[in-house]
Amino acid sequence: MAVGTSPEGSPWWVYVIRCGDDSLYCGIARDVDRRLQQHTTGRGARYTRGRGPLVVVYREVAADRGCALRRERAIKRLSRDDKEALVRGGGRDGR
């Protein structure tokens, strides 16, 4: 199996969203664009509700769901400055 793909063939991603209040939200998903749409329509995490507009500012591919969860937890533990540096550095998927 290729790195970054689940048994179903979809990669797992770790992503960071910048909210309208300039806060940062981190999560995981197989389809980041679909997950952003869920957040935007109020069907995502409670944290993002009412904090629009929402923009994905960082994403990186993970080897599997477990790796994505561990990376999400690591990002959430970063200081605000370190998260901003991560976002400025760009995603690990070449975007």
Q: What is the pLDDT of residues 17-72, one digit of tens each?
A: 999 999 999 999 999 999 999 999 999 999 999 999 999 999 999 999 999 999 99
- pLDDT for 9 equals 73
Which pLDDT does position 13 carry in this prediction? 98
pTM value is 0.86
Residues 6+ apart with CB under 8 A from 14: 26, 27, 28, 59, 60, 62, 68, 71, 72, 75
Binned at pLDDT 50, 70 and 90, residue 5 comes out as: very low
- Across residues 70-88, what is the average pLDDT? 97
